Every structure is written in structure tokens, then in C-alpha cells.
Structure 1
Amino acid sequence: MTFHQRLDVNQLTPAIMQWFDSALGQELIEVEQSLLEQVLPTLFGYHLLQIGVDSRKPMFGASPVPHRILLGPSLELGMDKRSIVASNSELPVQSDTIDVVLLHHALDFAENPHQVLREAARVLRPGGHMVVVGFNPASTWGIARFLRRRKLVPWSGHFIRHGRLQDWLGLLELTEVRSLSGFYMPPFENLRRRQRCSWLHTLAQRAPAHSGAALIVVARKDVPGMTPLRTPWRRKLISLPVIEPKPTARGHMRNRRR
């Protein structure tokens, strides 16, 4: 799958971090955290891997999984001590080992989103869950992105449609089990302008489809696990002595008659 706009994550990382530190970016992060608090406590296992574009933003605080790792594209100050630096499209993780994979806007700012999703599906164990957090094009933010001529962060992101994401998950043998969205405010940088549009929050919640700026999709990897074949167990047989039958009196008289 190709996109009209090619993204270089290394060049965009400073701008992405700066935007997430803004007031609007912080409001979005808070809403995403509250949505993840509804999802992560229901997903269990031993290993969780967060793949993101901002190495300073751990989003797995509500997860009961004990071993949690944050993977980011660059080394930054303030990174979590459980962080590793690697490319999102080439994960240094063994296949079928992670119980929960959390993609935090990793697809929005990837040069090849489908490759990032394929790598995330590779490291996910059979029966494990993938949580995708991204911008929702079916929202006021999607309309604002369409109307803007100059595509700066975050409008330079891909804003992948829910239907397209479902198709990608199906190709990777992942089944969507849940989806939810939030943050219905227009993307005004000015706080007062956002507060004046607070009535949109109630109106958008009544909409039949997900129309929040943040979209979260939870999928399960339904590929059955492979059971390695073991060497067949061979029983050791104990050799017993063969007992020869003793001649009887009837057999002895028969032999004399012959």
C-alpha cells in the first residue's frame, strides 16, 4: 500500500514531540489515556511492547502486564528506563513472543504503515492482542486536515480510515474485537475557541459512528500456535527367561506306544 505523502520519521520526530507538548497535544494524550484505561486492564500476559513516535510518552500505565517496554525511533532525554531505540519497521524482537502490542500513532507517522503493522503482528503471540491508537479521519480533525494547505504536524500524518485498518488487520489474520474513539473538540489551538465548542462533545457522542479525533482499535491474533514435534518415547522392554514345558506322564506313555 502506497501513500501520496512520504514521511521521514527521523526528520519529523522533533516536530512531533513539540506538538505533543503543546496544550492541544496534551489534551489529546489525556483523552487517549482515559480510553486506554478502558481497554488495557482487560488484556493480560507477561510482555507488553509499545511502539510509538515519541519515546517520552509511555501509554501503558493501566496495563496489568508486568514486563512493559517502550520502543521509540530516537534516543531522547526523559525516556522511560524500560525504553529501547529501534526502527518501527524492523523490530529487534523475536516472533510470537509479545502478549500485548500497543501502537501509539506509529502508523500515522510511518513511511510504510503496512510494514509497521506487519512487524507488530509478527512479534505478537497467537492469542495476543494489538491495540492501535491513531488519528481518526472521520472527525472534525479529519475535516481540518483536508482543508489545510500546509501539512504540518500532526496534519502531515496519514490519518488511516477505520475501514482500511480493518482490511489490513484481516490480511494479517488479526480479528478486531473492539473499537472506540474520543475527543470531539475541533483542533483549535486557542483554548477559548475550544471551550466555546464544548457543545460538540455532547452532539458527537450521539453520532452512530466513531467521530472522535482519537481512534482506538483492539484486535486479536487468531493464528493457532505451532506445537513442536517431540521425539517419540520408546519404552525399554525387560527380557524375561523362556520357560520350556516339562513332559507329563500322559505324554511319556504316548511316546512309548509309538
Structure 2
Amino acid sequence: MALDVTDLRSFYGSPLGETARRFVGAILARRWDSVVGLSIAGLGYATPYLEMFHDHPLRLFAMMPAEQGVVNWPASGPSSSALIDDSMLPLPDSCIDRMLLAHALENAEHPHELLSEVWRVLTPGGRLIVVAPNRSGLWARLDTTPFGHGRPYSRGQLLDLMRESLFSPIYWSEALYTPPLQRASWLRFAPAIERVSGRLSLPGAGVIVVEATKQLYRLVGVRRSRRTLSQFAPALAPALTPRPFGLGPPRNAARKQDGAPS
């Protein structure tokens, strides 16, 4: 069951949610440092991370699935959010330069259909960033945060899903090493925990961040040949072939031909 949009908004309004937004947002800012003149869309609940690009791109809007619900965003000015069906995005082909999926892939009923739609609306060479819960991290094991709901992923699972959907991963990162606790004492040490754990590439991060490009050709994989029995052995005829009744020479005629007495 997908999270309600009010729960997501409440989480990002808390100190722990602000910590998550800051750490994940730092990775996004490094990857998309120049978005002037580009069209950017967020899918799922990506508005906490889209705010850092608000003054630079050509177009910036958020799409939220119907199962989750939608909120007006941004808080001031014309609304740039829409309620959508994530299996049929209301966009023409090749119109988005950058797509951000946050709280989307893990809650999608059909992840392949979702990524196929994202592939369709991205421009040639367009880029996709997915923020997904890490199945081996502590955040995915506790349902006190939005990252503890839905289907968590390992890096290998994300890699297979991307390739099957015609995306080529070009960058991997992890974030949220700090425990998902609202205690002020833990949050005070969160930057140090994040910095040291990231440098040492320790396991157990809360989320996996993968960036991929739209692939315009299909990879040539190993063909699986369908071998039949005829490839291993010659065709065999049945030893006994039934003959319909009433056809062929009578039994007495066959004996006469062999010289047998009638």
C-alpha cells in the first residue's frame, strides 16, 4: 500500500526528514549542478529535492501518483504539481531532460511499466536519478520513515531493472548512514556519521542513488537457443504404423503371394 501524501509531508517537515533531504539533496546537487534551460520533472514525492532547482531550469514540475495523493507545490505562486497515473504519464514523447524518482519505484505496482514511461518521455541522452531504499540498510527495516515502506532494492536488483528498461547506469552512490531516529543527540552527529561512512564505503546505507541515461539502442545479449530433440538425434519413425481397417490387401492374398497354401 502506497504512503499517503500527508505522511510524506509530515516526515519531511520533521528534523529527521530535513536531515534526509539535506544528505540526499547534496548528491543530487553534485550530479545536476547545471540545469539552466532544462526541463526537470519529479515523480513520486520528489518536491523536497526539487526545491533546490527552483530558480534555474526552463520547466520544473512534480507528478504524484493517484494512490499517494497530491499536494499543491510550490507553496507560493502557480501550482506545478499534478495527480497522475504512473503507468501513463500525461506527457509527450522526448520532452523531459531530467527525471527524479523519489518514493516512487519502491511503491510502484509495476516497476517495469513505470520505467518504460520514464524512458518514453525523456529526451535522447536524458538522465534519470532514482532514490530507492537499500534492502540491507536500517531505514528499510523500520516503518517509522517513508523509506521503510514498499519494496527495497539491492544494487544488483536496480542494475537489472535499469538494463531491462533500456537505461544505462552511469553513477552510483549511497546516503543515510545515520540511524533513522528523531533524537536530537543522534541528529547532531549525523553529518559526521555520513561523512566518515561515505568515505569508507561502509555497508548499511539507508538509500541507494543511481543515475542512468536513456539508452537509444537495445543491448545485444547472449541469445538463448531453443534446441529441439532433432538437433541431438536424427528423426525417428515409429516402429509400428497403424493401418486403417479395410485398406491394403486381404490377409489371404498376402499368403498366396508368399506361396502359402490357402
Query: Do the two structures share a fold, i.e. TM-score over 0.5?
Result: yes
Question: 1:107 maps to which residue?
Answer: 105
Question: 1:34 maps to which residue?
Answer: 26
Residues 53 and 106 in structure 1, CA contact (< 8 A), matched pair in contact too: yes
Residues 50 and 60 in structure 1, CA contact (< 8 A), matched pair in contact too: no
Structure 2: stretches of 5+ with no match in the other structure: 218-262
2:169 paired residue among 176, 179, 187: 176
Q: By how many angstroms is 1:151 displaced?
A: 7.6
Residues 103 and 146 in structure 2, CA contact (< 8 A), matched pair in contact too: no
Question: 2:235 maps to which residue?
Answer: none
1:10-159 to 2 correspondences below 5 Å: 12-42=4-34, 46-53=38-45, 56-57=47-48, 59=50, 61-62=52-53, 64-73=56-65, 74-79=69-74, 81-142=79-140, 145=141, 148=142, 153-159=146-152
2:157 paired residue among 157, 161, 164: 164
CA distance in 1, matches of 2:31, 2:190: 28
CA distance in 1, matches of 2:11, 2:202: 27
CA distance in 2, matches of 1:189, 1:203: 21
Root-mean-square deviation (CA, aligned residues, Å) is 2.8
CA distance in 2, matches of 1:198, 1:67: 32
Residues 40 and 96 in structure 2, CA contact (< 8 A), matched pair in contact too: yes
Report percent identity of matched pairs: 22
Is the alpha carbon distance of 1:198 and 1:132 closer, same or farther for their aligned partners in structure 2, counting shifts above 3 Å? closer
**TM-score, length-scaled by structure 2:** 0.68
Q: Do structure 1's residue 189 and structure 2's residue 182 form an aligned pair?
A: yes
Q: By how many angstroms is 1:210 displaced?
A: 6.4
Question: 2:251 maps to which residue?
Answer: none
Cα distance per residue 1:70-120 (max 9 Å; x no partner): 112334245462222212232111122211111122112323333222221
Residues 48 and 67 in structure 1, CA contact (< 8 A), matched pair in contact too: yes
The SS at the match of 1:101 is strand
Cα distance per residue 1:23-79 (max 9 Å; x no partner): 21121011122111101125676322111236x535253485312221123342454
Q: By how many angstroms is 1:197 displaced?
A: 7.1
Residues 38 and 57 in structure 2, CA contact (< 8 A), matched pair in contact too: yes
Question: 1:228 maps to which residue?
Answer: none
Question: 1:213 maps to which residue?
Answer: 206
Is the alpha carbon distance of 1:58 and 1:141 closer, same or farther for their aligned partners in structure 2, counting shifts above 3 Å? closer
Residues 139 and 145 in structure 2, CA contact (< 8 A), matched pair in contact too: no
CA distance in 1, matches of 2:187, 2:195: 14
Q: By how many angstroms is 1:176 displaced?
A: 0.7
Is the alpha carbon distance of 1:201 and 1:209 closer, same or farther for their aligned partners in structure 2, counting shifts above 3 Å? closer
Cα distance per residue 1:144-194 (max 9 Å; x no partner): x0xx5x687441232222211111111122111112222321111212244
Residues 11 and 146 in structure 2, CA contact (< 8 A), matched pair in contact too: yes
The SS at the match of 1:159 is coil
**TM-score, length-scaled by structure 1:** 0.69
Is the alpha carbon distance of 1:185 and 1:127 closer, same or farther for their aligned partners in structure 2, counting shifts above 3 Å? same
CA distance in 2, matches of 1:222, 1:45: 22
